[in-house]
Amino acid sequence: MNRELAEHFTKNWLDAWNAHDLPRILSHYTDDFEMSSPVIIQVTGNPEGRLQGKQAVATTILTITGLESTAS
């Protein structure tokens, strides 16, 4: 990845978050995306602190942020 591509990706990712657009946020991740964080343990009760799959990540983002889901 070159600098121009990295800057483009970052701008699009930040714009999606700032627009509170969950489908656009999730478009930056693959369907088999995994996320690990101590916050996941607190929010979901998942003792591994890991989410697997775009839907699990979407659900947790909605829980943490209170964004309205517009995903289909």
Structure confidence by residue, pLDDT tens digits, 8-62: 999 999 999 999 899 999 999 899 989 899 988 988 888 999 999 999 888 888 8
Q: How far apart are CA 37 and CA 63, in angstroms?
A: 15
E-strand stretches of the chain: 34-36, 50-52
Higher pLDDT, 43 or 71: 43
Q: Residue 66: what pLDDT?
A: 79
- Quickly count helices (H) and strands (E) in the chain: 4, 2
Q: Do residues 22 and 62 make contact, with C-beta atoms less than 8 angstroms apart?
A: yes
Q: Residue 69: what pLDDT?
A: 56
The answer to pTM > 0.95 is no
Question: Which of 45, 44, 11, 9 is CA-nearest to residue 28?
Answer: 9
